[in-house]
Structure 1
Amino acid sequence: MLRVVVQVSDINNVDQALTSCNNLINEIPDAEVEVVFHQSAINAVVRGSTVEDRIRDLMRRGVVIVACRNSMRSRNITEDQLIDGVKIVNAGVAEIVRKQAEGWVYLKL
């Protein structure tokens, strides 16, 4: 099975990144996909964001959505502000490195 870890760090790229993730799942429906949001893109995984419905749709399709605690802390975002079902890791960059070390394909969007 193909496993893909996606890095989204820039809030200005979130719309296109979500479109690309949907395209990936449509083309390779059995892929295991994890999307790590950090830096300014962390705001996309906050409840009420303009892309909340799209993120919820990806989660319904089996995509794991991950928030970086360091990015949350730097922007005063608390766990209860996140979209339900978003997983939290301490450091988004460390999560990406771990996944790559495990053989996951790395995609930066």
Structure 2
Amino acid sequence: MSESTAPAAGLVVHGTGPNPEAWLPAAMRTALNAAADLGEGAQVELVVQGPAVALLAEASGPAGQLGDLVAAGVGVLACGNSLRSAGLAAGDLTSGVGVVPAAVGHLARRQWSGWAYVRI
């Protein structure tokens, strides 16, 4: 989803920090639960930053659960800067994962547009 076509409001769930094997599944569940609770018209995104972007390239890891998020309409986005730091490219990611140039910029624009923010 491009910034110019994004709805006026939604929820952005931000996942970052040490021990991504622990928090990424929790962030994915949080985004899925939010999408279910907020209903069909709500926009929910999960933005993954830091070393956890590497887990989005492993079909056998947490990324294997992306189908549920995509089916629920949750946008899953990896930070482009984090991908570069991890030595990965957008093509390395599991199908359904998008890329934003910089998580920090994307998060700021979402909040300026009225989106709610939750950090996991």
Paired position in structure 2 for 1:44 = 55
1:74 deviates by 0.3
Aligned pairs for 1:82-97 (under 5 A) are 82-97=93-108
Deviation sequence 1:33-85 (CA, Å, 0-9, x none): 01111112212321425112322210121111111110000010122110112
Deviation sequence 1:70-107 (CA, Å, 0-9, x none): 00000101221101121111101110010000000011
Aligned pairs for 1:22-33 (under 5 A) are 22-30=32-40, 31-33=42-44
- More displaced stretch, 98-107 vs 44-53: 44-53
- How far apart, CA to CA, are the structure 1 residues paired with 2:27 and 2:59? 18
- More displaced stretch, 63-72 vs 79-88: 79-88
Say how many residue pairs are matched.
Answer: 109
Q: Does 1:6 align with 2:41?
A: no
State the AA in 1 paired with 2:35: I
TM-score, normalised via structure 2 length: 0.82
Relative to structure 1, is the Cα distance of residues 100 and 2 closer, same or farther in structure 2, using a 3 angstrom cutoff? closer
Paired position in structure 1 for 2:91 = 80
TM-score, normalised via structure 1 length: 0.89
- How far apart, CA to CA, are the structure 1 residues paired with 2:115 and 2:92? 29
User: What is the percent sequence identity of the aligned residues?
Assistant: 28
Gaps of 5+ in 2: 1-7
